[in-house]
Structure 1
Amino acid sequence: MTGKVIGILLYLGVIFHLGYKAWRQTRQSTDYMLAGREMNPFIMAMSYGATFVSTSAIIGFGGVAGLFGFSLLWLTFLTIFVGVFIAMVFFGKRTRRMGLALNSHTFPELLGKRYSSRFIQQFSGIVIFLFIPVYAAAVLIGICRMLEVAIPAVSYGSWLIVVTGIVAMYVVMGGLKAVMYTDSFQGTIMAAMMVILLVSTYTMLGGVTEAHQTLTDMAALMPEKLRLGGNTSWTEGPRANSPIGLTIYTTIIYGVGIGVLAQPQLAIRYMTVPSDRELNRAVAIGGVFILLMTGVAFSVGALSNAVFFKEFGKISIAMAEGNFDRIIPIYIDRIMPGWFSGLFLVAMFAAAMSTMSSQYHVGGTSLARDFFEQYLSARDERASMKINQIGVTATVVMTLVWAWLLPGNIIARATAFFFGLCAASFLPAYVLGLYWKGMTKAGAKASMVGGFCLSMFWLLFVHLKEAASIGLCKALIGRDTLVADAARGSWLWLLQWVDPNVVALPASLCLAVGVSLVTGKLAQKHLQTCWEGIG
């Protein structure tokens, strides 16, 4: 216990030093919102990765891997290929150049200026501000659940307040510079701990081949509920046309793996570097980091079944007493040596803080810069800084409220929900805005509003997990979902496990292209400004 507390205190000392250093260097809105556009590739890549991967990936999705097995490794592939390579090479460079040409400071401002639309900027800002606290709350829940297991003398509710206060302190004052400086330090700690965790887990099971064979031979121990849902083994993927298969492949792998491209807290990172050269160098750093984070978390989550059964005669979900968000924390606490438990706690603290700080920052600046400042007649640097600090504070408060209200087993679901919502709302307008001069203001509006509305409709009335929890559909028509009474096993019944993004994203893309083809184009002079430096 003493070692854990000392480790956390030392870690916090470094964090506050970096936050203070950033505060000293933050003097204008460009510093607060874009880190002065002067970050080096290591800091940018580590900040990108640490923002992308948090306790929601390690604790939440690691716990999901404890239920469903190695099939989640497909998400690791997508996060590296799409979330790092495609994102930085094909999105990052154009985003940086267009953002500079249009003097954009936020992701909604980039969209708004690209289409000469205050509505688009405000709509994007409000969507981000309203829904990113749900994602941030999932991250906050993840670290507080781990702290609850590691240091039980402090209650879960108390940890919510303590962790929130710590992160809010340096984000509100130091802006994006504080976020990125601390992210790079936190990411380094995370990477080191994950390497040790992976090696230790395989060593306990006798090596890679032996570990995988042991897990394969445990297929008969798969709980009956999971077997009926379509999952028969931890080393084989579930049936694609089963409820579990649809959840894994459409919500987790597709929803998160594609949704990463439209994440505002990640897209803004492209605009923090001075040239494309930094983005090129960041690809390799970011790819290795994401592999260490998600690849290790998903592998260890699945293999925890073998380790737990070997040590206690129980599989992961039984050890976690039904709450799979507790699988990784319990694994660290009961299986790993005490010295590692303390260090890993610090690493998870870093994972949570790095992501939460970015979420607080992007949510706050979206409310301030992209909504409130649009109605102010006079704006100077000092006023802009104050408004953004107020916006960040509002995001912090909303996150804390959601963390109190959200139920257990929510970490992975809340993360997938936000990634999917961003993809349906922003991705077509964003990617076509970067590559197609024929994309119009009307097309962007139709795509964004249509994608958002369809995504929310599916969430509230069709997708079982959320529709049943929220209860709006049941209150209106007496059923959990619109298709709840369909014949069991039919394609209509299976729609309850199809992620909203599978339907909403293609519809959003069709609206973007279709409406743009029949509506007036933007002025040629404006398009020349947007494409300045792009070619």
Structure 2
Amino acid sequence: MEQNLHQTQTVTVIALIIFALIMIAIGIFSARKTKTMDGFLLGGRKIGAWVSAFAYGTSYFSAVIFVGYAGQHGWNIGLGSIWIGIGNAIFGCLLAWMLLAKRTRTMTHTLKSKTMPEFFEGRFNSTKMKVFAAIIIFVFLVPYSAAVYKGLGSMFTTIFPTVSVNTWMLVIAVLTAIYLVLGGYVATAYTDFVQGIIMIVGVFAMVVAIVKNPNVGGFSHFFSNLASVADNGDKITGAQLTSWYGGANWKFLCVNILLTSFGTWGLPQMVSKYYAVKDIKSIHKATVISTVFALIIGAGAYFVGSLSRLVLNNQLPEGGVDAVIPNTLLTALGDPNIVTTIILAVILILLLSASMSTLSSIVLSSASAISVDLIPAVNKNYSGKNQMILTRALCLLFVALSYIFATGNITIIVNIMSFSWGIVSGCFIGPYIWGIYSKKTTKAGAWAGMILGFLTVAVTTIVLTSMNNASCDTVYEAFKLAAKKAPEMGVAAMAVSLAAVPVVSMFTKKYDDKFLDGVFAKNADED
């Protein structure tokens, strides 16, 4: 066993070195294309269909989907959890690209918006709204990125038990910072493309490796073996695990499908991918490509998670649900041969790729929120002369801050991720979607969507934490209990935001036709 672990570690280190060199090389190559802010943040708005689609997909799925979501929901729900992956592909990719990409690209080109806060400023003629959006992005994407770190760190610590999780998170931070600071969005997009290919290969390898495990029994017997799982004290049996609609957890399943699918519609690091697409024809191709990518990654991850009880003999590993996938992979690929070792190394690089692509997108959105949106709005004498240097410095700062946050004693990966998604998307989804679709949307309506979306999560969290405080030893423990409702709060925030914008707009001052004609003007390449 010790010899096998040493072999796995050796192959993994070699794979990591090769991967790191490729990422750094892409960063250096991309540096020459980032001489302007438009180039640094959006690649000059000349990113093709395949790269745009993979950039979207890899930013969507970080290591959290494997280590957090797939591990927890696959263990507790079973095969029904696959619907989350399918929902992500249909609603989070296909429908999102069909309904949002073309209009977003058109309007952001017209308004010359490089960021989501800039879009809000131009669309609603409000600098204060830009500042508010920038603050929300910078503050609440920190825990999001921390969840990304934690998800990957759990996996690497399983393979390298003598190396602390903080060390692996530091490796992620440094490597991401290097290629992002060098090449900006161009480096991010092209590394995402390479990482996306690795992710697809890794998922197929993961599925085959898990299904071939003797306890699973192959594709012909996994269902019957899963159906025979007995209650080990957690009241979950084979009947639950093989229910295609989630069994007793169908409501919880629906909430998570809604949050993780429609939540992306209001996340700035996802929406920015539409800004950078080079033309309308590329949007049509990217729609199909990103959907297929999401279906492979999402469904594959949850399928593996749903079989984890078979591989682990129905015993939850030490470390809880966050340790399910790492232990499942290590158990399934524990045979001492070079093939299984290489497969495990590929899967580890898959998780690293998923995390780094998501992290780089978040960092770029957060850094630009300060350098492009907040500082120029607060400091009227800001010339923007050194904006590129400032943005790169802020990228480094944000990576450092998210690393510091991640090294804290945070064990609720899924809930922290859901909390961040809910509050950011809950603020932006209403003003953004109604803003690109309806000329009747007013400034007051947009503000109502933002503020009420934010308060839905914030107030509910405070109330639930206060209610739990009496039965908990610390406020943090009370917050952890409240955070379990993060998916429901996030879905509620999005619904409130979407409803508030048109309702308030009905009774508040409309924009004049001249302003609206300028905002809704079409580009020359519009078909």
Common topology (TM > 0.5): yes
- 1:47–1:180 Cα contact (<8 Å) kept: yes
Matched, 1:175 2:184: yes
| Higher deviation after alignment, 148-157 or 256-265 | 148-157
Distance 2:46 2:242 in 1: 45
Match of 1:210 in 2: 221
SS at match of 1:221: coil
Q: Is 2:492 the partner of 1:503?
A: yes
Name 1:12's counterpart in structure 2: 20
Letter in 1 for 2:223: H
Q: Secondary structure at the match of 2:386?
A: helix
Partner of 2:291: 287
Deviation at 1:173, TM superposition (A): 2.9
Give 1:445's match in structure 2, choosing from 420, 424, 447: 447
CA contact (8 A) 1:461 1:472 kept: no
Structure 1: unaligned runs, 5 residues or longer? 310-314, 485-494
Greater CA drift, 386-395 or 442-451: 386-395
Give 2:403's aligned residue: 400
1:312 alignment counterpart: none
Q: Tell me which of 402, 410, 413 is aligned to 1:411.
A: 413
Contact kept in structure 1, 2:31 and 2:182, CA below 8 Å: yes
* Aligned residue identity for 2:218: G
What does 1:468-479 correspond to in 2, within 5 Å?
Answer: 468=468, 471=469
Cα deviation for residue 67 of structure 1 reads 2.6
* Residue in structure 2 matched with residue 296 of structure 1 by the alignment: 300
Q: Which residue of 2 aligns with 1:47?
A: 55
Aligned residue pairs total 504
Residue ranges of structure 2 left out of the alignment (5+ in a row): 1-8, 334-339
Q: CA deviation at 1:372?
A: 1.1
Query: Is the 2:217–2:225 Cα contact (8 Å) retained in structure 1?
Result: no
2:94/2:287 contact within 8 Å kept: yes
Q: Does structure 2 retain, via aligned residues, the 8 Å contact 1:58–1:293?
A: no
Trace 1:181-200 onto structure 2 (pairs within 5 A): 181-200=190-209
What is the rounded CA distance, in whole Å, between the counterparts of 1:499 and 1:287 in structure 2?
25
Partner of 1:371: 374
Amino acid paired to 1:524:
D
Match of 1:356 in 2: 359
Secondary structure at the counterpart of residue 91 of structure 1: helix
Q: Does 1:234 align with 2:241?
A: yes
Q: Aligned-pair distance for 1:316?
A: 5.1
Mean Cα displacement is larger for which, 421-430 or 202-211? 202-211
Paired residue type of 1:18: I
Q: Could you tell me which residue of structure 1 aligns to residue 166 of structure 2?
A: 157
Query: 456, 459, 463: which one pairs with 2:458?
Result: 456
Cα distance, 1:216–1:402 mapped onto 2, change above 3 Å: same
Partner residue in 1 for 2:85: 76
Q: Does 2:94 align with 1:105?
A: no
Aligned to 1:331: 328
Provide the secondary structure at the position in 2 that maps to 1:105: coil
1:33 to 22, 36, 41: 41
Distance 1:473 1:130 in 2: 29
The verdict on how the C-alpha distance between 1:90 and 1:472 changes in structure 2, with shifts beyond 3 A counting, is farther
Which has the larger displacement, 355-364 or 151-160? Answer: 151-160
Is 1:368–1:390's contact at 8 Å kept on the other side of the alignment?
no
SS at 1:370 equivalent: helix
**Given that residues 29 and 381 in structure 1 are in contact (C-alpha distance below 8 angstroms), is that contact kept between their aligned partners in structure 2?**
no
How many Å separate the matches in 2 of 1:467 and 1:167?
40
Write the mapping of 1:50-61 to structure 2, written as runs, cut at 5 A: 50-61=58-69
The answer (yes or no) to whether the contact 1:164–1:396 under 8 Å persists in 2 is yes
Cross-structure match for 1:23 = 31
Q: 1:460 to 1:255 in 2, by over 3 A?
A: farther
> Does the Cα contact within 8 Å between 1:78 and 1:258 map onto a contact in 2?
no
8 Å CA contact 1:85, 1:287 repeated in 2: yes
Cα distance in 2 for residues equivalent to 1:171 and 1:513: 38
For 1:407 and 1:255, the matched residues in 2 are separated by 21
Task: Give the deviation of 1:376 after TM superposition.
Answer: 3.5
Q: Secondary structure at the match of 1:73?
A: helix
Per-residue deviation, 1:397: 2.3
Please give the alpha-carbon distance, in whole angstroms, between the structure 2 residues aligned to 1:405 and 1:474.
20
Separation of aligned partners in 2, 1:100 and 1:472: 52
| Deviation, structure 1 residue 123 | 0.9
Indicate how the Cα distance of structure 1 residues 505 and 472 shifts in structure 2: closer, same or farther if over 3 A, else same. farther
Contact persistence 1:189–1:350 (CA under 8 A): yes
Give how far 1:24 is off.
Answer: 2.1
- In 1, the alpha carbon distance for the partners of 2:473 and 2:203 equals 45
**Cα RMSD for the two superposed structures:** 2.7
Q: Deviations over 1:367-401 (max 9, x none)?
A: 22111122333555642212222332232122112
Amino acid at match of 1:504: A
Letter in 2 for 1:5: V
CA positional deviation for 1:222 = 5.0
Q: Which amino acid aligns with 1:279?
A: I
For residues 306-344 of structure 1, give each alpha carbon's deviation from its aligned partner in whole angstroms, at most 9, with x where no partner exists: 1222xxxxx252xx2252111111122221222211121
After superposition, the Cα gap between the structure-2 partners of 1:271 and 1:76, relative to the gap in structure 1 and judged at 3 Å, is same
Q: 1:118 to 1:232 in 2, by over 3 A?
A: farther
Q: Identity across aligned pairs (percent)? A: 26
Aligned runs of 1:62-73 on 2, under 5 Å?
A: 62-64=70-72, 65-73=74-82
- The question of whether the paired residues in 1 share the 8 Å contact of 2:50 and 2:286 is answered with yes
- Cα distance in 2 for residues equivalent to 1:183 and 1:518: 45
* Match 1:512 to one of 477, 487, 501: 501
